[in-house]
Amino acid sequence: MCRFLIEGHDPEVRDALVACLDAFCRLEPADLELASAHVFAYYGDVAAEVGPEPGFPRIEDAAEVWGQVRLTAEPVVQHDGTHWYVVLENECSWEPEHGLMIVLREGRQVTKVGQYDGHLTNRQAFADDSIPEDAVYWSPSPSR
């Protein structure tokens, strides 16, 4: 069972909200697995920053990353004035402080992964209009 926290509900956009929730509830594991490479890139950045610290998990490839994630049971649903987003604040073994944020536009398309920062896109998170709007993961490292 899943309980949603809906922020900014406006009766005028009720149909779009219902469609977003319906799309999210119909997701299959394969839909999230499409973001595996992005989640693995996030893991890789944290691993590079932390280094070979004792107890830090070793994840060898993107296929293994979901085994280190515990998905939330209370998604947050937000409206940005144009789109509805389902925001998942998850726990992950490699970043216990900031977790793993997964954002799905209209409840179906993963549009952002990374540490939980409360932003719906990476462009917003980094306050940088040069970041492509569809950048699912954006590395904070200067080598990006």
Segments of the chain scoring below 50 in pLDDT = 144
Residue 47, helix vs strand vs coil: helix
Note the pLDDT of residue 144: 46
Q: What was the pLDDT predicted at 113?
A: 97
Determine the pLDDT at residue 14. Answer: 83
* Cα–Cα distance, 58 to 47 (Å, whole number): 9
Q: How far separated are the first and last CA of the chain, in Å rounded?
A: 39
Predicted pLDDT of residue 142: 61
Q: Which pLDDT score is estimated for 4?
A: 83
| pLDDT at site 48 | 94
Separation of alpha carbons 109 and 38, rounded Å: 13
Q: What pLDDT, on the 0 to 100 scale, is given for residue 143?
A: 55
Paired tokens of 24: 């999210």
pTM of the entire predicted model: 0.91
